[in-house]
Structure 1
Amino acid sequence: MSKKSTLIPIILVTSLFFLWALLHNLNPILIPHLRKAFALDDLQSSLIDTSAYISYFVVAIPAGLYMQRFGYKKGVLVGLVLYALGALLVIPAASERSYLFFLTAIFVIAAGATFLETVANPYISVLGDKETATQRLNFAQSFNGLGAVVAPILGGKFILSGIEHSPEELAAMGQASLNTYLQSEADTVKVPYLVIAGVVVVLLILFVFTRLPEGDEREVDDTHTVGVNFSFKIFKHKHFLWAVISQFFYVGAQVGVGSFFIRYANHVANMGEKNAAYLFGSVAMVGFMLGRFSGTFLMKYIRPASLLAVYGLLCVLLLIIAVFTAGDVALYALVAVPFFMSIMYPTIFSLGIQGLTNEETKIGSSFLVMSIIGGAVVPLLMGLVSVAAHSIQIAYLVPLLCFLVVFYYGWKGYVVIKPKAKSILEVMNDER
């Protein structure tokens, strides 16, 4: 494929990285917001992340099989339709003030995002030279970082009210006043999600009328086997197995770090929700975005796996400070973590699919996206620890342990082990 024929597809597919950033980075705003609107504790509010990442687990394999059969473009179209539908469902969920309805809407949005991620990550990798696949994926993921900056800032401005009543103040309200207050809190999500749905529909139209190449199909597996049995054979590649494990723990750590940031900022530095949301977006997520761009640059001189290991270790050290100190020192140690975790998802993804055939890459992408269920598990564990220890700060030990797994993958787990040559007897047995 020529650079000219791939330029427009790369631009359009890169725009998709912005969309799932909105989903994931509005969740740290929604968690404290709906915690107020529905009177939830930390464990209950973590179900917002659970509903999103359970969807990834359920939909990833069907999305990969759909992509195998119908190609990249149709996978994108399905993803955009689901994303827009879920965003529209948020509006009646807010009107009804139904937490279950709201979780369902988030699940549908995440189903759309699952299709988009399953398509976009491998598609960017095959649209161009293999030698620059990791750099190209990190560059595309940099626009995911842009969404990570915009989402909490706009969410903090248009969703969070800044009104934070104590339990005693809420108890002193009359029933009518309390219902009015809770409904006003729930209603603030309507306009932002209506705008998101409109943007997604416009993008859907652009994809409908744009011709997209399907990538280099010369490496398609000779068996052309499609199905669950073929899917599990991919785990014979040890580096891919470790990529799935590492991605599970990385995504869990990433989600956990962001999901309770506003609660953490209030706990260690007595910071209000609007200021914490702005700090998260304008500093932590700007660091995340800059980390993607700088990481892409550094990979010209440092092996991606080595950079991954170093960044994993630095995240562990920063979280030790965040857990065991207090005040601004603890807060800004946590703020620094997103810069170093910025390269992890695309780097693990790219290292995991190295050495796979085109067909293996498509179904392997499903498992790597499926491993995002770590984002459902780790926040729940953090919620449990927070409730048990009465401290959201202690709960950050959970992502600390997750980053140790990422460090190991960058250190040793990424190594591609080539299969041993078969003996004459093994070849004869295979032919029987």
Structure 2
Amino acid sequence: MEVKILTKNGINFLIPFILITSCFALWGFANDMTGPIVKAFSKIFRMSVTEGALVQVAFYLGYFAMAFPAAMFIQRYSFKAGVLVGLSLFAIGSFMFFPAKMTGMYYPFLLAYFILTCGLSFLETSCNPYIYCMGSEDTATQRLNLAQAFNPIGALMGMYIAMEFVQIKMSPMTTEQRAILPDTQFNILKDNDLSVLIGPYLGLGAACIFLLVLIRLTKMPKATDTRVNKSIVRAFKELLHIANYREGIIAQFFYVGAQVSCWTFIIQYGTRVFMEEGMDEKSAEILSQKYNIIAMVFFTVSRFICTWFLKYIPAGRLLSILAISAIGLTIGAILFPDRNGIYCLVGISACMSLMFPTIYGIALRHVGDNVKFAGAGLIMAILGGSVFPPLQALIIDSGITIMDISATNLSFTIPLICFIVIAIYGHRAYIRHYILSPDAEDHV
């Protein structure tokens, strides 16, 4: 790690960077443990894919609901205070899985996810601009990519825990077998599976408390916590005049939708392929999750590689190149009926690695003292993870087939559209920054 990217006005931000980057890994764990749980909830409660996808709706709705309150809070107090509140809500939501399990009902789990992600919204609203401010604006995108590189490390751990401590330990009974169980036997089975499911979340809550105490007891520099006496209305009027920012919100909305869709429904995609090869349902689900983990390994390695490429390739151009590559691979995932489609989905993860922090970094160019509110708007764009997965689930549940292409494959037209939007944004950002004059940049 180059020290110069973590220095500003002679102040070194290495220790705060390490502590805040730990939060990136922690919410990566929560995000990517949740994807496989969608399938688990569908089985446990005998629900459709669409009903199971409500987990993602609740999960990403919390991001949307809390982003602006979080921005107002850190505007009044500090980035550190925002991180502490975020970790507190994160822990509360995680511990709420125990009383939700005791009710034996689905909707209390959705409430727990919502509270948990209100905490994640506080964390991301605080941590992303905090990292952005830990050095010069010239190295901000590189710094964000470096911090975000530890997010998929946590995500890999989340996926592994979901497979080893939830999917494998759940009852091997298939969806069809569960559907015909008498209520008494079904409730016993459901209680057992829910006990398995909540374990990782209780551990996650304990980890949040540990990190909260560590950050609380550590002296964090306040050089980045500049308060600005400005109303939200004025701040956003100024922000919406910046083309990179207003288009960046749209691009981030579509990116998160694509990411969540690809990582959630690779389980359904792989299960269909492997069951057609002759596997039983549980084995097919576990093997699908292994491919999901491989995809995250590609994502992690690609993040570090792409961060290095940013030294030589402009951020907007690299973003558009990766989005175009993702478009090609998504088309492959739609058209291939066999394992080739799964290989394409794994490849898509490598393309996605750079997208979130790069869109974030590009969008924050020239926002000046509006950085906290600007960060909140970009975190609200995470709502895309709540919008697109249910649409994809509806296509899967419809069972529609076009030219012998299954509904599961056709559902990936949703992330295809998302990647097209991202490619356009990357190209426009490159044109504005490197070809048009600075005066033209804010108005195109």
Q: Same fold (TM over 0.5)?
A: yes
Q: For residues 130-152 of structure 1, what are the alpha-carbon distances to aligned partners after superposition, in whole Å with 9 as ceiling and x for unaligned?
A: 22111111010010010111111
Alignment equivalent of 1:368, drawn from 348, 360, 378: 378
Could you say which residue in structure 2 is the equivalent of 1:299? 310
Kindly report which structure 2 residues correspond to 1:181-200, keeping only aligned pairs within 5 A, or say none.
181-200=189-208
SS in 2 for 1:332: helix
Alignment equivalent of 1:399, drawn from 415, 435, 438: 415
Could you say which residue in structure 1 is the equivalent of 2:188? 180
Alignment equivalent of 1:261, drawn from 256, 259, 266: 266
More divergent stretch after superposition (5-14 vs 74-83):
5-14
How many angstroms does 1:339 deviate by? 0.8
Relative to structure 1, is the Cα distance of residues 303 and 159 closer, same or farther in structure 2, using a 3 angstrom cutoff?
same
Cα distance in 1, alignment partners of residues 40 and 202 from structure 2: 18
Aligned amino acid, residue 348 of structure 1: I
Identity %: 32
Which runs of 5 or more residues in structure 1 are unaligned? 421-432
Alignment equivalent of 1:273, drawn from 285, 297, 303: 285
SS in 1 for 2:13: helix
More divergent stretch after superposition (232-241 vs 348-357):
232-241
- Is 1:202 aligned to residue 210 of structure 2? yes
Could you say which residue in structure 2 is the equivalent of 1:425? none
Alignment equivalent of 1:106, drawn from 99, 107, 113: 113
Could you say which residue in structure 1 is the equivalent of 2:96? 89
Aligned amino acid, residue 244 of structure 1: I
Relative to structure 1, is the Cα distance of residues 92 and 50 closer, same or farther in structure 2, using a 3 angstrom cutoff?
same
Cα distance in 2, alignment partners of residues 134 and 255 from structure 1: 23
How many angstroms does 1:189 deviate by? 2.0
Cα distance in 2, alignment partners of residues 106 and 84 from structure 1: 11
Contact 2:79–2:225 (Cα < 8 Å) also in 1: no
Q: For residues 280-301 of structure 1, what are the alpha-carbon distances to aligned partners after superposition, in whole Å with 9 as ceiling and x for unaligned?
A: 12x1001111111011011111
Which runs of 5 or more residues in structure 2 are unaligned? 1-7, 276-282, 401-406
Relative to structure 1, is the Cα distance of residues 171 and 40 closer, same or farther in structure 2, using a 3 angstrom cutoff?
closer
Kindly report which structure 2 residues correspond to 1:42-57, keeping only aligned pairs within 5 A, or say none.
42-57=49-64
More divergent stretch after superposition (10-19 vs 183-192):
183-192
More divergent stretch after superposition (158-167 vs 177-186):
158-167
Could you say which residue in structure 1 is the equivalent of 2:236? 231
Q: For residues 213-261 of structure 1, what are the alpha-carbon distances to aligned partners after superposition, in whole Å with 9 as ceiling and x for unaligned?
A: 234468x76xx31334433431111110010000000000001101111
Cα distance in 2, alignment partners of residues 34 and 403 from structure 1: 28
Aligned amino acid, residue 372 of structure 1: I
Contact 1:17–1:141 (Cα < 8 Å) also in 2: yes
Cα distance in 1, alignment partners of residues 224 and 177 from structure 2: 63
Could you say which residue in structure 2 is the equivalent of 1:76? 83
Contact 2:53–2:389 (Cα < 8 Å) also in 1: yes
Could you say which residue in structure 1 is the equivalent of 2:331? 320
Contact 1:269–1:326 (Cα < 8 Å) also in 2: no
How many angstroms does 1:418 deviate by? 4.5
Could you say which residue in structure 2 is the equivalent of 1:148? 155
CA root-mean-square deviation: 1.8
More divergent stretch after superposition (9-18 vs 162-171):
162-171
Relative to structure 1, is the Cα distance of residues 163 and 272 closer, same or farther in structure 2, using a 3 angstrom cutoff?
farther
Relative to structure 1, is the Cα distance of residues 3 and 233 closer, same or farther in structure 2, using a 3 angstrom cutoff?
closer
Cα distance in 1, alignment partners of residues 269 and 218 from structure 2: 45
- Is 1:380 aligned to residue 385 of structure 2? no
Aligned amino acid, residue 25 of structure 2: F
Cα distance in 2, alignment partners of residues 181 and 162 from structure 1: 9
Cα distance in 2, alignment partners of residues 173 and 217 from structure 1: 58
Relative to structure 1, is the Cα distance of residues 96 and 77 closer, same or farther in structure 2, using a 3 angstrom cutoff?
same
Could you say which residue in structure 1 is the equivalent of 2:5? none
TM-score, reference length from structure 1: 0.92
Cα distance in 2, alignment partners of residues 134 and 56 from structure 1: 22
How many angstroms does 1:170 deviate by? 2.5
Q: For residues 109-139 of structure 1, what are the alpha-carbon distances to aligned partners after superposition, in whole Å with 9 as ceiling and x for unaligned?
A: 1000001000111111111232211111101
Cα distance in 1, alignment partners of residues 172 and 408 from structure 2: 18
Could you say which residue in structure 1 is the equivalent of 2:253? 248
